[in-house]
Amino acid sequence: MRTSEPTSPRRGALLRRAVPWFVLAFWVIVLLVAVPVVGKLGDATTDSEIDYLPASAQSTQVAEIQQELPGGGTTDMFLVYQRDSGLSRADRDAAEDHVAEIAAHYSINGMPEGNVSDDETTLMYPLAIDADEAGGEGEDVELVRELVADHPDGLLVQVTGPAGLEADMDEAFEGIDETLVMATMLVVTVLLILTYRSPFLWLLPLVAVGAAAVTSMAGVYALVRAFDITVSTMSSSIMIVLVFGVGTDYALLLVARYREELRRHHAPADAMIAALRGTGPAILTSAGTVAAGLLCMIAADLNSSSGLGPVGAVGVVCALVAMTTLLPAILVLLGRGVFWPLVPVHGTTPRERRGFYSRVGALVTGRPITVLAAGAMLVGSVALGALNLPGDLRSEDSFTDRPESVAGMETLAAAFPEQSSQPITVLADASHSEEVLTSVRGTDGVADAEMRRSADGWAEISAFPVDEAESAGEAATIELLRAELATIDGAGALVGGESAQHLDVAATASSDRALVIPLALVAVFVLLALLLRSLLAPLVLVAAVVAVWGAAIGLGGLVFGPVFGFEGTDPEVPMLSFVFLVALGVDYGIFLMHRTREEALRGAPAPAALVSSLKATGTVIASAGIVLAATFSVLTVLPLVMMVELGFVIAVGVLLDTFLVRAYLVPAAAALLGTRIWWPGRLSKAPQPAPEPVGLVRR
């Protein structure tokens, strides 16, 4: 039998030179395929109300049935006319002309009658446009606003209601992806230039992460076509920020290790192989924890959360692949000169300096109990700010500015305090319509109710509650309606509408937290245990990121209302921020503890291994944390309260994790536990050898 001959040095060198070119060619082909597909993702993105509602809630079932009824769902809006000195005859004539003109453009479900306030300063017309003739809520509201623009001087005219709010929300989302891409690229570019202090090097991670972003958008579109997943503007926007954030983090870690290895290896290819071997497990586990945490959201009942899981996971996987293939290939092909003017020379050792992280290492190993106790008290006290979080965010408070729809709702609330301007929708079997209508009218908290339409065996009823929209009183009315209508046998009554949707979203978000958070913790713990060959070290890291999340939410409670002036907290923010902070925050623990384990395996005693890993990774982790926090802070420039709150909590959480928890608390806990932190792995049982005589830090 012939045995294969070992690869010759020359053949191995040729292979190393060829591989980067093959990788680069592969990515060129991938991008040529992906770029034409990227534009199609926008067409596949949907922001209908059902895409943001709980899959199993009554309000979602109502919205789905309404869409299936003849004429589909209706575009519901209110025309509001107000003059402080009292409405004139000309004002009322203008309003009637507007309604007639709108009716000439659309088929209106029942010609509306005007409702005048008691002080005769405000007139309101409810409009329900049949969906068969509607062009979409955004287009309909825009056209209606154009039709009512001609009116007497001094008369305030506003288009509001559910369709108005939805149209203004769509306008806020319009162009959001382009804004995020440009802002994120600018932030990452500036930070990379400051980090590398090189006229060329900063561009390479940006190119690689840009390729990852393009590929991820094409990948998400492929998922939509293959599995019919729902992609909202929110999920696609967060994915872009995520790709830039984690991709740049992986680039920082890899390039820092590559710089080290270039001093040990003559050939850049050999240095890159060593760098990938050293950082590959940590980067792979990091990406795995983020993807696993995001995929746990598939279990959420809230459609917007469950849809974000696979979309975000695709982005993370694309970032991982690009940063471990494309970026290394480009770096190897360009050689060590790309680091100019700070070129790492083979065979040299960087000047040993007692930097910041050397002092941190000395502090945490010298006084671990003091550092741990002080840090825990600080994090715990900040977390108490969560008690100051404002209540659930109302629909009209979802904007950072005050669009026309919100101003109109405020006008209606002031003019008609005896009745909510936002009806509750009740669907029931048509054969029980009169019985259901009678029950609805007799329910405490309902001012009036009327039959809206009957088709396909369903009767649709609009109920007007006494209390203000999305108030505690209205929520109680909705719950009472559901309870009383459930007693009518055979009616199959369902209670929905905008306020019911808000109530169901809040309730579902709470139940989703109870399900998704434990799943995410278990997934992250298992992956950490596999990487670190320990049960205690992952427990420390998971406890640390949970503490970070608590402190970040606490800071949110201190600023959302008092500083930002927000009237509520979006119910999705706690769960989404938890998943992102646990998945992303544990990255830095992975980088630190994996390097600590590596130093321990080389023979360094526990304290020395910890100090060495802090010195080797501290600056990289700090840079990565700043980049990640900066990318997520881009969300705060968007005109939606939910995005601002989410971006703020994640950004400050990453900074807390980077400069407090990962720099002090985790190292202090590791120093206090010593080799026991690797329990039950072999490092926890092996006797500690003498330190290496050549020094602790391998640079």
User: What CATH number did the domain enclosing 167 receive?
Assistant: 3.30.70.1440
Q: Is the Cβ–Cβ distance between 316 and 295 less than 8 Å?
A: no
pLDDT of residue 2: 43
d(CA 196, CA 471): 53
R_g over Cα of the chain: 30
Question: What totals of helices (H) and strands (E) does the chain contain, helices first?
Answer: 22, 8
Q: Are residues 564 and 472 in the same domain?
A: no
d(CA 322, CA 311): 17
Cβ-Cβ contacts under 8 Å for 483 (sequence gap 6 or more): none
Q: DSSP alpha helices (H): ranges in 563-692?
A: 573-601, 606-633, 641-656, 666-673
Residue where a domain terminates, one of 312, 343, 374: 343
Give the type of residue at 366: G
pLDDT of residue 550: 94
Q: Are residues 118 and 190 in the same domain?
A: no
Report how far Cα 420 is from the mean position of its chain's Cα atoms: 33
Q: Are residues 385 and 479 in the same domain?
A: no
Q: Are residues 332 and 232 in the same domain?
A: yes
Q: Is the Cβ–Cβ distance between 351 and 333 less than 8 Å?
A: no
d(CA 217, CA 43): 12
pLDDT of residue 691: 42
Q: Are residues 374 and 454 in the same domain?
A: no
pLDDT tens digits for 522-544?
Answer: 988 998 888 888 899 889 989 99
Pair type for strands 156-160 and 458-465: unpaired
pLDDT of residue 131: 60
d(CA 493, CA 505): 20
Q: Are residues 149 and 242 in the same domain?
A: no
Sign of the Cα torsion 269, 275, 281, 287 reads negative
φ, ψ at 454 (rounded to 5°): -140, 125
Look at residue 122 and tell me if it is in a domain: yes
Report how far Cα 230 is from the mean position of its chain's Cα atoms: 15
pLDDT of residue 690: 44
Look at residue 465 and tell me if it is in a domain: yes
Q: Are residues 298 and 188 in the same domain?
A: yes
Closest alpha carbon to 309 in 234, 248, 246, 244: 234
Look at residue 502 and tell me if it is in a domain: no
Q: Are residues 590 and 604 in the same domain?
A: yes
Residue where a domain terminates, one of 464, 496, 528: 496
pLDDT of residue 132: 56
Q: Are residues 336 and 198 in the same domain?
A: yes
Sign of the Cα torsion 7, 12, 14, 19 reads positive
Cβ-Cβ contacts under 8 Å for 593 (sequence gap 6 or more): 532, 537, 541, 613, 666, 670
Q: Which domain holds residue 480?
A: 424-496
Q: Residue 374 is inside which H or E element, if any? A: helix 368-383
Instruction: Tally the domains of the chain.
Output: 4
Q: Are residues 233 and 179 in the same domain?
A: yes
Instruction: Give burial (CB, 10 Å; 0-12/13-18/19+) of 439.
Output: buried
pLDDT of residue 177: 66
Tokens matching residue 423: 């009806």
Instruction: Give burial (CB, 10 Å; 0-12/13-18/19+) of 480.
Output: middle
Look at residue 203 and tell me if it is in a domain: yes
Look at residue 696 and tell me if it is in a domain: no
Q: Is the Cβ–Cβ distance between 280 and 320 less than 8 Å?
A: no
Task: Give me the residue label for tokens 């623990």.
Answer: 589
CATH number assigned to the domain comprising residue 20: 1.20.1640.10
Report how far Cα 112 is from the mean position of its chain's Cα atoms: 41
Look at residue 332 and tell me if it is in a domain: yes
d(CA 597, CA 610): 9
Q: Are residues 185 and 315 in the same domain?
A: yes
Number of Cβ atoms within 10 Å of the Cβ of 346:
13
Residue where a domain terminates, one of 343, 369, 398: 343
Tokens matching residue 170: 């769509």
φ, ψ at 166 (rounded to 5°): -65, -40
Instruction: Give burial (CB, 10 Å; 0-12/13-18/19+) of 266.
Output: exposed
φ, ψ at 644 (rounded to 5°): -65, -45
| Three-state DSSP state, 567 | coil
Look at residue 419 and tell me if it is in a domain: no
Q: Which residues of the chain have pLDDT under 70?
A: 1-16, 47-49, 70-73, 109-111, 131-138, 175-177, 350-354, 418-421, 686-699
Number of Cβ atoms within 10 Å of the Cβ of 341:
7
DSSP single-letter state for residue 416: -
HEC assignment per residue over 164-207? HHHHHHHHHHCCHHHHHHHHHHHHHHHHHHHHHCCCCCCHHHHH
Q: DSSP alpha helices (H): ranges in 230-267?
A: 233-262
| Three-state DSSP state, 671 | helix
Q: Are residues 552 and 483 in the same domain?
A: no
d(CA 548, CA 328): 33
Residue 168: half-sphere exposure toward Cβ, Cα within 13 Å: 26
Closest alpha carbon to 384 in 162, 170, 576, 552: 552
Look at residue 28 and tell me if it is in a domain: yes
pTM beyond cutoff 0.95: no
Residues facing residue 128 across a β-bridge: 76
CATH number assigned to the domain comprising residue 451: 3.30.70.1320
